[in-house]
């Protein structure tokens, strides 16, 4: 905690002063260009990996960067769905990024047995949204004992599944079809710092240049 408190002081003395004019411009409103949906994992830092300045990204973070499928009235998951709604309808972002990452504990947890997940009831309920990811992985996984390949497939298929969920939102689908909003899938490799971006034309994640 002491380190965090010292960081607050350093931010005010150094970083804030360097961007003082920007913060003054942002004091009354925000105009982010991108809704960035990322995992809550502490190793994933959207602004750092994209070198974005304050005011550029509207960030939504949750376990395994999940997007709940659209419902007219949500009883659950409103922390995520309301943020998506606000970003697209009120802030009118131009882009949506779904960013998954390597060694994702949330993605790994969809394979945990009930006796473990029963001790994490809220997490268990949340991960029910990713059950179709698990099914898709098991269809594509040739060697069921290859844990590395299962992890890799799960994390990347999960990104694509969440993009699919985004397009169940009528107001997003309309904008997407009218080319008023772009949707990207990012896969961030923690150990190398590399970001792979999904190429819709050939159906694979490609290393960003």
Cα 192 from Cα 185, distance rounded (Å) = 18
Does the active-site annotation cover 165?
A: no
Burial class (CB in 10 A: 0-12, 13-18, 19+), 50: middle
Does the active-site annotation cover 33?
A: no
Residue 169: per-residue pLDDT = 97
Does the active-site annotation cover 107?
A: no
177-206 residue pLDDT tens: 999 999 999 999 999 999 999 999 999 999
For residue 34, CA distances in Å to 46, 62, 183 come to: 11, 17, 10
66-109 residue pLDDT tens: 999 998 766 789 999 999 999 999 999 999 999 999 999 999 99
- HSE-CB at 69 with a 13 A cutoff on CA atoms is 9
DSSP labels, 33-47: SEEEEEE--TT--HH
Catalytic choice (12, 24, 33, 39): 39
Kindly report whether the global pTM for this prediction surpasses the value 0.85: yes
Instruction: Check pLDDT > 90 for residue 127.
Output: yes
Residue spans per domain, the chain: 1-30, 31-207
1-42 residue pLDDT tens: 888 877 777 777 788 788 889 888 888 999 999 999 999 999
Catalytic choice (99, 101, 107, 165): 101
Which CATH fold topology does 31-207 show? Beta-carbonic Anhydrase; Chain A (3.40.1050)
């Amino acid at each position: 905690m002491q380190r965090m408190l010292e960081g607050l002081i350093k931010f005010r003395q150094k970083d804030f002063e360097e961007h003082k004019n920007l913060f003054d411009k942002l004091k009354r409103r925000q105009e982010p260009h991108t809704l960035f949906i990322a995992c809550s994992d502490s190793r994933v830092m959207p602004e750092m990996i994209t070198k974005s300045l304050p005011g550029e990204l509207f960030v939504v973070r949750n376990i395994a960067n999940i997007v709940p499928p659209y419902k007219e009235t949500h009883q659950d998951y409103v922390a995520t769905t309301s943020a998506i709604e606000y970003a697209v309808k009120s802030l009118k972002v131009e882009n949506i990024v779904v960013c998954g990452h390597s060694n994702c504990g949330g993605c790994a947890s969809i394979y945990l047995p009930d006796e473990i997940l029963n001790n994490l009831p809220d997490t268990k309920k949340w991960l029910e949204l990713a059950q179709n990811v698990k099914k898709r992985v098991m269809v594509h996984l040739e060697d069921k004992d290859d844990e590395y390949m299962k992890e890799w497939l799960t994390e990347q298929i999960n990104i694509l599944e969440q993009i699919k969920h985004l397009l169940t939102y009528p107001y997003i689908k309309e904008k997407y079809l009218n080319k008023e909003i772009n949707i990207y899938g990012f896969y961030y490799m923690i150990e190398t710092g590399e970001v792979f971006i999904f190429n819709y034309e050939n159906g694979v994640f490609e290393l960003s240049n």
